[in-house]
Structure 1
Amino acid sequence: MRTYQDYVQLAEERELKIGEIVLVEQAEESEKTESELRERMRLSLNVMRAAVQTGLSGERKSLSGLIGGDAAKVQARWKSGESLTGERISGAIARALAVAEVNATMGKIVAAPTAGSCGVLPAVLLTVEEALNCPEEDLVTALFTAAGIGMVIADRANVSGAEGGCQAEIGSAAGMAAAAAVELSGGTPGQTGDAAALAMKSLLGLVCDPVAGLVEVPCVKRNATAATIALAAAEMALAGVESKIPLDEVIDAMNEIGKQMPCSLRETAQGGLALTPTGRRIKAEFI
């Protein structure tokens, strides 16, 4: 079974980034060159950028009318200088909402690791890029780091809300984003694992309860809160704060929690927020 600690050990031994180790592994497994894989990942990065810009325009609305325009509202407050949380956190919130809104309105996104959690990774990556003026090549490498986390999660647990609850989707996305942010910021391989673990621990047990069965409420807003959790986890890890529970064990715990979750809280829209009076009303009106 794949472990993240294996990646950390290899990276430390070879004095490489986690993303570089993942890239080498993927080139060997896919029989493609590293250059080819980097170009494919660059295309994904470009789709993420485009989704952010499209969502921030505030012009898209979902068929249900529940989603659309919130990213633009947060951006307006952020740009006006009124932000309570500062430019970086507000920027991440706006970007995460933007991408998730594009998904809810049938636009083009990158599932990272799923469509329902697609806003977290681009929001964090592009916020760190803006803050540190990172070269694009570093962002591409960081995406391979995020992919490495995602592969370990998929191997040891899963990234499906229907199997593991929202912790498996949005929690995994937060872990992937936190690790990528640490690497972009010059952190060590071990710190990427700490960041991912800290982020995922904060979202353990999160249920998947989409109102009316749509990937809209509360899914879109969870992307925004998960992006802020990822940045908080990255900040702690870069400061030297360690996760007392290793990432691989956090992933295993998430898997066990998902198995114990009732079906009503795993994407069936039969529990949680979906069963509130307002949730029922929205479903009835939409149908």
Structure 2
Amino acid sequence: MDIQSMRELIEACERENKSISDMMLMVEAKKSGRDEATIISMMEERLIKMKEAVDSGIKDASTAPSGISGGDAVKMAEYVQQGKSLSGDYISNAMSFSLATSENNARMGVIVATPTAGAAGILPGVLFSLHKNDGTPYKELVKGLFTASMLGLVIANRSFISGAAGGCQAEVGSATAMAAGTIVELKGGTPEQAVNATAIAMKSLLGLVCDPVGGLVEVPCIKRNVIGTSIAFSAADMALAGIKSRIPCDEVIEAMYKVGTDMPRTLRETALGGLAMTETGKEVKERLFCRKS
């Protein structure tokens, strides 16, 4: 069961009459030698860690050790509770939960890298928004983690998932793409629709640079996680409506790889370009450096 492309994934799902999450469970069982019950139990533990990060971050207004992030999750949650949000419950809650997770990461809390720490807010953001707004049970959320894992596995094997290698398109882009496909499957979409959502989401973030201020995964990373949740829901909605990506997902992933290899080193997590080299970005770096010295 060696799936190397999204096309092969769709074909395998159709041939085996299984969902993407089922295929991932089969792949993991074969590769790890563990039985499926053990694998599911391990994934349940990861979902619990995600929930703990959300619960901790959503009520913690403290500042991260760096002094450049913290407290926004509380502000967002309060804004949503006041009924002021323009985005609707699904996206608004996802934004709050994404902020909570990413800020928890900045405070050195425990998070689940999905696929990286820098993009760890997107998937829990959408999953727990689905749980809150339509009652998606935890058992289904665990299946969603397997869906995301399968989509992420194909992306990682064909391109990048790290900002240092391919820019933020490889981190937030991949996480958003994984989340979009996961939403589709959890909402009853077909594997083909899930893959289309993955492609649409990834195209929307193609070329995004990695330019962390002060070299920390906080600015602009945390807010990019938040924006990723809204793109994931938008891409999922389009796919569930029957809209297809004109460029096949495998070709989108290939394009992401080529863009990443062409991207200057200054825009790949070195903090030598982009927002990191704005006047404010340089001032933040100087404050952090002076404080540490």
Common fold: TM-score over 0.5: yes
Residue 127 of structure 1 and its aligned partner are, at CA, apart by 1.0
Residue 82 of structure 1 and its aligned partner are, at CA, apart by 1.4
Q: Is the 8 A contact 1:58 1:70 kept in 2?
A: no
**2:221 match:** 219
1:114 aligns with 2:116: yes
Q: 1: CA distance between counterparts of 2:232 and 2:33?
A: 33
| Greater Cα offset, 128-137 or 86-95 | 128-137
User: How does 1:33-44 map onto structure 2 within 5 Å?
Assistant: 33-44=35-46
Match of 1:135 among 116, 137, 140: 137
Q: 2: CA distance between counterparts of 1:145 and 1:84?
A: 29
Q: 1: CA distance between counterparts of 2:248 and 2:144?
A: 21
User: How does 1:1-287 map onto structure 2 within 5 Å?
Assistant: 2-287=4-289
Q: 2: CA distance between counterparts of 1:142 and 1:108?
A: 20
Residue 8 of structure 1 and its aligned partner are, at CA, apart by 1.2
Residue 63 of structure 1 and its aligned partner are, at CA, apart by 1.0
Residue 132 of structure 1 and its aligned partner are, at CA, apart by 2.2
Q: Which AA in structure 1 matches 2:11? A: Q
Any unmatched runs of 5+ in structure 1? none
Residue 58 of structure 1 and its aligned partner are, at CA, apart by 2.3
Q: How many residues align?
A: 287
Residue 29 of structure 1 and its aligned partner are, at CA, apart by 1.0
Q: What does the per-residue CA deviation read over 1:98-143, in whole Å, with 9 as the maximum and x for residues that have no partner?
A: 1000111100000000000000000011112222212222111111
Q: What does the per-residue CA deviation read over 1:183-206, in whole Å, with 9 as the maximum and x for residues that have no partner?
A: 110000100100000000000000
RMSD of aligned residue pairs (Cα, Å): 1.0
Residue 59 of structure 1 and its aligned partner are, at CA, apart by 3.5
Q: 1: CA distance between counterparts of 2:144 and 2:13?
A: 14
**Identical columns (%):** 48
Q: Is the 8 A contact 1:181 1:234 kept in 2?
A: yes
Any unmatched runs of 5+ in structure 2? none
Moved over 4 A (4+): none
Q: 2: CA distance between counterparts of 1:135 and 1:284?
A: 47
Q: 2: CA distance between counterparts of 1:61 and 1:15?
A: 49
Q: Which AA in structure 1 matches 2:91? A: I
Q: Is the 8 A contact 2:6 2:249 kept in 1?
A: yes
